[in-house]
Amino acid sequence: MKPLRALVLSGGGGRGAFHAGVYQYLSEQGWQPDVVVGTSIGAVNGAAIVQGVSAQALCDIWLSLEERDIQGLPPGMRGPARWLVRKVFNEIMDARLPQVAPQESTSPQPARFWPPLPLLPAPLANALVGKWINLLDTGPLKQTLQTHFGFDPQAIASSPRTLLIAATNVQTGARQLFSNRPIVSRHSGAPRADVAVGITLERILASCSIPLVYPWTYDPGTDAWYWDGAVVANTPLGAALDAMQETPQEVPAEVVVVLMTPWRSGDQGRDMPRSFGEAVSWTLDWALLASFRERLRLIEAYNRFARQERERGEPPYRYRDVQVRIAAPEDFLPAARIIDYDGEVSAQLIRQGYQAARRAFEEAHG
């Protein structure tokens, strides 16, 4: 019996070229997903896959991307603050970021100057710092989604594949999912209240809105402001399973989860961070991985119930057998790569993603 297939793409910003390498390997094996779930940069790559962008085309897009295609300084940043932020990011990504024009900006401009200078007269603070509440602006990313990735909402809406992307409500902290079709809960049989139908440019941006680094994004369809989905749900596995509800539980599922963090267990985790930068990377990646570990344990429990049902031979079954394959790098990817986009490094990440997918399938199938 051919299994249902789901591809779960975690967040990771500029490390998203890793996804392209994984998808390249999967495509060569004839493995195509019925369901794609994406968070943050996973939402960008997931939308491209669902609308029909080929694996090679996705790799080519990533090889062509540069920092200025994704981000720039917010238009409200002024004087020494602009110089300092540009200097810091130049050290991180070896690129001089342009300032985004107001008409192309996605950044909200606060009514007052930046709070760390509350004692200075407003005109002086405005000249030294300006009015801004996020370090970088995603106006260039909004354009790149249309030019480089060729974002096509109609192609996504009519695709036979299901797409789910995750965002975080800024005001409530709740997870919000967006999909190209209604999703029914596998537990209650009712439409999921946390899923809004429709994939728009703003909703993809919302999933990518890294708190403090990028501006939050407003979605008129839900009348809410959103941050990056990875804040609360970097790999929403449960949503992938709910997207399969129209198919009987007798049909097994194969889920490929693409992580940006090494997948370690048991005695594999004996080394330690060797620098402050590595400590930052480890802290961030382990935090993003925590929710996936919990969800994976839950799926393992469901699989035990599924085996018991089949041993008893009592269809119709309530639980689907789910096999999870994990494609992950062998070592930590630097945290700075989250905002660093570079064709040469992307080529390395594509190769690493390809190798990670091959390892995952060789371990599963020999």
Higher pLDDT: 283 or 57? It is 57
Q: How far apart are CA 323 and CA 6, in angstroms?
A: 10
Q: Of 134, 146, 285, 160, nearest to 204 (Cα)?
A: 146
Q: Is the peptide bond before 236 cis (omega within 30 degrees of 0)?
A: no
Q: What's the chain's average pLDDT?
A: 90
End-to-end Cα distance, the chain: 19
Q: Which of 107-116, 120-129, 207-216, 276-285 has the lowest mean pLDDT?
A: 107-116
- 241-268 pLDDT, tens digit per residue, is 889 988 888 999 999 999 998 887 655 5
Choose the weakest-confidence range: 123-127, 168-172, 316-320: 123-127
Q: Is residue 113 scored above 80 in pLDDT?
A: no
Give me the mean pLDDT over the 123-140 stretch. 87
Q: How many CB atoms lie within 10 A of CB 169?
A: 20
Average pLDDT on 209-233 reads 94
Cis amide bond preceding 316, omega within 30: yes
> Which residue shows structure tokens 């399969």?
244
Mean pLDDT along residues 286-315: 87
Q: Indicate the pLDDT class of residue 65, thresholds 50, 70 and 90.
A: very high
Whole-number pLDDT of residue 238:
87
Mean pLDDT of 302-322: 89
Q: What pLDDT was estimated at residue 34?
A: 97
| pLDDT score of 365 | 74
Share of the chain above pLDDT 70, in %: 96
Please report, rounded to a whole number, the percentage of residues in the chain having pLDDT higher than 90. Answer: 59
Q: What is the pLDDT of residues 28-49, one digit of tens each?
A: 999 999 999 999 999 999 999 9
- Rounded average pLDDT over 184-202: 89
User: What pLDDT score does 337 carry?
Assistant: 84
Only one residue has tokens 């049909």, namely 251
Q: What is the H or E stretch that residue 308 is in?
A: helix 276-312
As beta bridge partners, residue 168 has 175, 227
Cα–Cα dist 188/176, whole Å: 18
* Strand 4-9 relative to strand 175-179, pairing: unpaired
pLDDT of residue 276: 81
Q: What is the mean pLDDT of residues 119-138?
A: 82
Output the pLDDT for position 112: 64
Phi/psi for 166 (5° steps) reads: -115, 145
DSSP letter string, 214-227: S--EEETTTTEEEE
